[in-house]
C-alpha cells in the first residue's frame, strides 16, 4: 500500500524566485511528520502546494505529488476541491482572521459536511456540536450560534481544528497552528492536536519552527532550508544523530535540560536565508556553514545515514 502523502521533487516559484526547490517528503498513515526550518524557507509554501492553495501567480510542478497513491498534479480543480476539507484538511497560523466574520461558527462548520458528505443540516449540526465538545469547547450548542469575533484566539483555533475534522480526514496539515497564540494556550492546542492524532489515527503534517514541539509530538522530522529538505529522519534518530550542519546548528539553538550548562551561551546560526536566483547551484547553506569549501558550490549528493535517515550535504560523515 502506498504512503498517505508522497512528495518528490516539488518545485514552486513566484515569478523568478524559487520558493520550493526539489523538496521531498513522505507522510505515512497515522504518523505525525514535522516540517521544521526558519521563516521564509518554504515550509508554508510546501503545505499550500500540496493542498493546491497557492496564490495566483505561483507555479507548481512535481515529479510525484500523490495522496493515497492518487496523482494530485493530474487532478482537476474540481477533483482537488473534492479532496480538500474532505480527505485532507488544513488549519492555519492565523486563527483570528481565518474564520469568516459574517457567519456563525455553526454555519461555517456544517457547510463542510453538507458539501462533501451531502449531510442534512440536522446531522451536520449534531456532528459539529460533537466535534466542538471533542476539541474541548464547553457549551458547544451556544458556541455554534456565535460569531467568530465573540471567541478568543484559542477558541477560534479549536473551532478551526474541529472544522477540519468534520469529514474525518486522513491527512491533517497544520501550518504553525500555535504561533499566533498565547504561550499557555499554545501548549493546550498542541496537546489537543497530539491526542486527536493518536485517537483518530490521523496522518499529520505539522509545520513549525519550534524544535521543542517537534521533540514532543513528531514521529518523523524533515528539516527545510531555502526551499529544500536538507535532512529527514525519525525524531529520536535526528535528535541523537543530526548529520546536516544546518540541523546541528538548529539543535544547538534549543535549550535542552541536562544537556546545556548554566553559564554556557546558547548556539546561534549567523546570517539569514539567502535569496535564491535562477541558476543557483550547490548548497544554499554554504555561506553560513562552518564546514563549507569550494566543492559546496557544486551539485550536492543526497546521503543515506541509515535506511530511514537521509541528508543533503557533501560531507558523508
Using the rule CB under 8 A, is 140 a contact of other proteins?
Answer: yes
Of 64-72, 101-109, 184-192, 250-258, the segment contacting other proteins by CB under 8 A is 101-109
In the window 44-63, what residues touch other proteins (CB under 8 A)? 44-45, 48, 51, 53-58
Q: Kindly tell me which of 43 and 243 has the beta carbon lying closer to other proteins.
A: 43
Give the DSSP H or E segment for 96.
Answer: none
Q: How far is the CB of 316 from other proteins (least distance, A)?
A: 31
Q: How far is the CB of 271 from other proteins (least distance, A)?
A: 17
Q: Which is nearer to other proteins, 160 or 206 (CB)?
A: 160
Do residues 113 and 119 touch, judged by C-beta distance below 8 A? yes
Nearest by Cα to 110 from 167, 48, 38, 177: 167
SS3 8: strand
Of the candidate spans 138-146, 229-237, 242-250, 278-286, the one that interacts with other proteins by CB under 8 A turns out to be 138-146
Q: Is 21 in the site for other proteins (CB under 8 A)?
A: no
23 binds other proteins (CB under 8 A): no
Q: How far apart are CA 150 and CA 173, in angstroms?
A: 26
82 binds other proteins (CB under 8 A): yes
178 binding other proteins? (CB under 8 A):
no
Taking the complex as a whole, the smallest distance from the CB of residue 267 to other proteins amounts, in Å, to: 23
Cβ-in-10-Å burial (0-12, 13-18, 19+) of 1 comes to exposed
* Residues in contact with 122: Cβ distance below 8 Å, sequence separation at least 6, in sequence order: none
Burial of 135 (0-12, 13-18, 19+ CB in 10 A): buried
DSSP assignment string, 101-139: TTS-HHHHHHHHHHHHH---HHHHHHHHHHHHHHTT-SS
Q: Which residues bind other proteins (CB under 8 A)?
A: 14-15, 17, 19, 39-45, 48, 51, 53-58, 80-86, 89-90, 92-94, 97-104, 106-107, 111-112, 115-116, 122, 125-126, 128-130, 132-133, 139-142, 144-145, 147, 149-150, 160, 163, 175-176
Amino acid at each position: 500500500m502506498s504512503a498517505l502523502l508522497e512528495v518528490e521533487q516539488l518545485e514552486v516559484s513566484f515569478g523568478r524566485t524559487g520558493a520550493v526547490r526539489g523538496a521531498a517528503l513522505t507522510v505515512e498513515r497515522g504518523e505525525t511528520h514535522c516540517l521544521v526550518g526558519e521563516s521564509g524557507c518554504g515550509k508554508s509554501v510546501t503545505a499550500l502546494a500540496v493542498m493546491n492553495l497557492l496564490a495566483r501567480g505561483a507555479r507548481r510542478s512535481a515529479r510525484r505529488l500523490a495522496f493515497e497513491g492518487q496523482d494530485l498534479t493530474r487532478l482537476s480543480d474540481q477533483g482537488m476541491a473534492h479532496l480538500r476539507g474532505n480527505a485532507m484538511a488544513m488549519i492555519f497560523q492565523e486563527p483570528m482572521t481565518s474564520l469568516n466574520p459574517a457567519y456563525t461558527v455553526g454555519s461555517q462548520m456544517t457547510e463542510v459536511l453538507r458539501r462533501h458528505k451531502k449531510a442534512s443540516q440536522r446531522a451536520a449540526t449534531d456532528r459539529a456540536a460533537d466535534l466542538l465538545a471533542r476539541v474541548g469547547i464547553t457549551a458547544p450548542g451556544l458556541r455554534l450560534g456565535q460569531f467568530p469575533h465573540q471567541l478568543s484566539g484559542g477558541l477560534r483555533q479549536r473551532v478551526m481544528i474541529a472544522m477540519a475534522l468534520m469529514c474525518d480526514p486522513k491527512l491533517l496539515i497544520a501550518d504553525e497552528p500555535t504561533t499566533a497564540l498565547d504561550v499557555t494556550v499554545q501548549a493546550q492546542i498542541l496537546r489537543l492536536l497530539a491526542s486527536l492524532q493518536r485517537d483518530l489515527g490521523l496522518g499529520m503534517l505539522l509545520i513549525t519552527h519550534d524544535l521543542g514541539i517537534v521533540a514532543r509530538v513528531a514521529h518523523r522530522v524533515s528539516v527545510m532550508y531555502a526551499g529544500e529538505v536538507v535532512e529527514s529522519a525519525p525524531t529520536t534518530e535526528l535528535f541523537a544523530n543530526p548529520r546536516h550542519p544546518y540541523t546541528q546548528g538548529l539543535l544547538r539553538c534549543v535549550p535542552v535540560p541536562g544537556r546545556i550548562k548554566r553559564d554556557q551561551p546558547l548556539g546561534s546560526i549567523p546570517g539569514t536565508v539567502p535569496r535564491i536566483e535562477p541558476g543557483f547551484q550547490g548548497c544554499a547553506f554554504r555561506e553560513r556553514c562552518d564546514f563549507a569549501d569550494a566543492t559546496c558550490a557544486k551539485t550536492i549528493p543526497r546521503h543515506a545515514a541509515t535506511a530511514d535517515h537521509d541528508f543533503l550535504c557533501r560531507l558523508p560523515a
